[in-house]
Amino acid sequence: MLTGKKVLVTGGTGSLGKVLVRRLLSGEVGLPKQITVFSRDEAKQHTMRLAFERLRIATDEVIYHNFERLLQFRIGDVRDLHSVTTALKDTDVVFNAAALKQVPSCEYFPYEAVQTNITGAENIIRAIRESRLPVETVVGVSTDKACKPVNVMGMTKAIQERLFVRANLDAEHTRFISVRYGNVLASRGSVIPLFHEQIRRGGPITVTTEDMTRFLLSLEQAVDTIFAAMREGARGEMYIPRVPSAKVTDVVAALVGDRKIETVITGIRPGEKIHEILVSEEEAHRTVARGDYYVIQPMLPELLPANKIENPIGHEYSSADNVMTRPEVTDLLRRHKLMVDDRFVYEEDMLA
How far apart CA 298 and CA 235 sit, in angstroms, is 8
- Whether the pLDDT of residue 268 is over 70: the answer is yes
pLDDT score recorded for residue 159: 98
Judge whether residue 331 has pLDDT over 60. yes
- Model confidence at 60, pLDDT cuts 50, 70, 90, reads very low
Quick one: the chain helix, strand, coil %, rounded to 5?
Answer: 40, 20, 40
Provide the terminal-to-terminal Cα distance of the chain, rounded to the nearest Å. 23
pLDDT at 127 over 70: yes
pLDDT at 347 over 80: no
Per-residue pLDDT, averaged over 47-71, amounts to 68
The pLDDT of 98-111, averaged and rounded, is 94
Angle between the 152-170 and 120-130 helix axes, to the nearest 10 degrees?
Answer: 10
Going by pLDDT thresholds of 50, 70 and 90, the confidence category of residue 311 is very high
* pLDDT for 65 beyond 60: no
Going by the DSSP 8-state scheme, the letter that residue 34 receives in this structure is: E
pLDDT of residue 172: 87
Report the C-alpha gap between 231 and 225 in whole angstroms: 10
The domain defined by 6-349 carries CATH number 3.40.50.300: no
Q: What are 35's strand-pairing partners?
A: 7, 71
Please give the average per-residue pLDDT across 299-307, as a whole number. Answer: 89
Q: Which residues of 49-64 are buried (b: 16+ CB within 10 A; e: fewer)?
A: bebbeeeeeeeeeeee
**Residues 160, 138 contacting (CB under 8 angstroms):** no
d(CA 135, CA 129): 10
- Indicate the range of 34-48, 57-71, 129-143, 227-241 predicted with least confidence: 57-71
Say if residue 10's pLDDT is above 50: yes
Are 84 and 130 spatial neighbours (Cβ–Cβ below 8 Å)? Answer: no
Q: Is the pLDDT of residue 341 over 50?
A: yes
Cα–Cα dist 4/317, whole Å:
38
Share of the chain above pLDDT 90, in %: 78
> Cα separation of 70 and 6, whole Å?
9
Measured between alpha carbons, how far is 34 from 37 in angstroms, rounded to an integer? Answer: 10
Task: Express as a percent the part of the chain with pLDDT over 70.
Answer: 92
Q: What's the pLDDT at 194?
A: 85
Beta bridge partners of 264: 206
Question: What would the mean pLDDT of 149-167 be, rounded to a whole number?
Answer: 97
Q: How many CB atoms lie within 10 A of CB 108?
A: 10
Looking at per-residue confidence, does 192 or 303 come out higher? Answer: 303
Confidence of residue 220 (pLDDT cuts 50, 70, 90): very high
Calculate Rg over the CA atoms of the chain: 20
H helix or E strand, kind and range, residue 74: strand 71-75
pLDDT of residue 67: 58
* Enzyme catalytic residues: 145
**What is the predicted pLDDT for the residue at 153?**
96
Measure the CA–CA gap between 97 and 201, rounded to whole angstroms: 34
- Quick one: DSSP state of residue 69? S
Residue 162's closest CA among 62, 303, 67? Answer: 303
